[in-house]
Amino acid sequence: MAQTAPQSFGIDFGGTGIKGAPVDLEAGDFAAERVRIRTPAPSTPERVAAVFVELLHQFPDCTGAVGVTVPGVVRHGVVRSAANIDKAWIGTDTDRLFTRATGREVHVVNDADGAGLAEVRYGAAKGRSGLVIVTTLGTGIGSAMVYDGVLVPNSELGHLEVEGQDAESRAANSAREREELSWADWAARLTTYYRTLERLFSPELFVVGGGVSKSAAEFLPLVDIDTEIIPAALLNKAGVVGAALYASEGGG
Ligand code: BGC
């Protein structure tokens, strides 16, 4: 019988949708078509756990570890912040809750950290050494700092204070949409943001992810900084793939 590549299951939990798929860990890609279920309201950890059970039932053949991304600080499986999700997540031991609910080994990771791991292992920053900073521009700004392939978790660079304000309130993609900014006006804000990161960390490379990265040609050339800055390669797969990768390595 042909040897199949190792798989684990990735789940990307976001404010509007919960996406899951078995992931081929050699290819860094979905091993079967992804399923998306609408995020319940209110999106408390218990209600979300029930959705995970439903999702996993649809893939009875994928029996490996399960990784989950959450848009908040996660330390040893416990969520410590919830800027854009239900506050009930704060203090919840999500590794334990989801492991109990699903009967599977579950490891939870910050969403941007998951995406960052995926981009460094399989995507835009594959093979790059030194400090790579992966940012996701969405409702908030997520960040992953990866040094020589090793993640420094929970960097939360979206909440840096830039010009007296929480950076993500000015420079996230949600700010562009809310204020109907032109690409050029948004790029000017991104320039200020990435220049701040440059000054603080002197990275080798910035990778820009989040749904809007598919329109990178519209705004990235207008971001005027000295460091190389490139779009993410995995686009909306990065969360699911990164979660699965994280779980396959036993979590943090
Ligand atoms: C949260 C981060 C998250 C980012 C992207 C921020 O508001 O604090 O934990 O990674 O949004 O979802």
Beta strands in 103-203 (DSSP E): 106-110, 131-137, 141-147, 150-152, 161-162, 165-166
Interatomic CA distance for residues 129 and 148, integer angstroms: 5
Is pLDDT of 4 > 80?
Answer: no
Residue 88 token pair: 């009930």
- pLDDT band, very low/low/confident/very high, at 1 (cuts 50, 70, 90): very low
* Closest residue to atom 11 of ligand 1, CA basis: 140
For the CA of 14, the nearest atom of ligand 1? 12
Q: Tell me which residue has its CA closest to atom 6 in ligand 1.
A: 140
Q: SS3 for 165?
A: strand
Phi, psi (5° rounding) for residue 24?
-80, 115
Q: How far is the CA of 71 from the centre of ligand 1 (A)?
A: 5
Domains in the chain (CATH in brackets) are 8-114+237-248 (3.30.420.40), 126-233 (3.30.420.40)
Identify the residues whose C-beta falls under 6 Å from ligand 1: 71-73, 81, 83-84, 110-112, 136, 138, 140, 142, 156, 158-159, 168
pLDDT digits (tens, 9 = 90+) for 41-56: 999 999 999 999 999 9
Per-residue pLDDT reduced to its tens digit, 204-221: 999 999 999 999 999 999
- Contact predicate 133/101, CB 8 Å: no
The pLDDT, as a whole number, for residue 23 is: 97
Residue 3 has pLDDT above 70, yes or no: no
Residue 185 to residues 65, 160, 161, 165, 223: CA-CA distances in angstroms?
Answer: 43, 20, 19, 17, 10
Choose one of 73, 111, 145, 174 to mutate for the ligand 1 pocket test, by most ligand atoms within 8 angstroms of C-beta.
Answer: 111
Q: CA-CA distance, 251 to 119, in Å (whole number)? A: 17
